[in-house]
Amino acid sequence: MKRTILPRLRVRPNPLDRRRGTLIAGPVLIPCALGKGGQTRTKREGDGASPRGTFRLRGGFYRPDRLGTRPPTALPLRRIRPDDGWCDDPRDRRYNRPIPLPAPGLSAERMWRDDGLYDLVIDLDYNRGPIRRGRGSAIFLHVARPGFTPTEGCVALRRPDLVRLLRRLGPGTRLTI
């Protein structure tokens, strides 16, 4: 049976706690964590806020040692390697791009994490073209912490929910925060 690709996802913030919300995927409602700074239209590096807007799903990454086989999806996915990083240093020309680690003298996020948050990651295409230094980096859809504690600006779902949702996502899917 062929699955229908969802054209649109929407995040509805919780009016009582702007650091939590509900991701609306067609008729399905999925609890999610949002940035510790709530949401903003004027995102800045390190502010902890989730950017408001509508974003393409560029593709993503997964941990083969934790997920086993590649999760089924129409999005391009690649395996995360232990030396994968993401540059969050606005001074560097590779800002908001994947980079190899170690990267001496650079601030970068490690993609191969011990806590499982990046076992499955979707790049939300925030500040990716043209890239504006200092306007925020590494904005992803990824695995949530237990209890949906706030993120640094990403949208996070329980791992089983993210794996199920991935089956319905494709290059044409857009996410609105």
Cβ contact 30:11 at 8 Å: no
87 catalytically annotated: no
CA atoms within 13 A on the CB side of 132: 8
- Of the candidates 49, 70, 71, the one whose C-alpha atom is nearest the C-alpha of residue 126 is 49
Q: Which residues contact 137 (CB under 8 A, 6 or more apart)?
A: 45, 86, 87, 88, 95, 96, 127
Q: Which residues contact 44 (CB under 8 A, 6 or more apart)?
A: 134, 135, 136
Q: Cis (ω within 30 of 0) for the bond into 102? A: yes
32 catalytically annotated: no
- In the numeric block, the tokens 């695995």 are attached to 143
Cβ contact 122:74 at 8 Å: no
Which member of 19, 43, 142, 168 is catalytic? Answer: 142
Which member of 9, 99, 121, 154 is catalytic? Answer: 154
Active site members: 142, 154
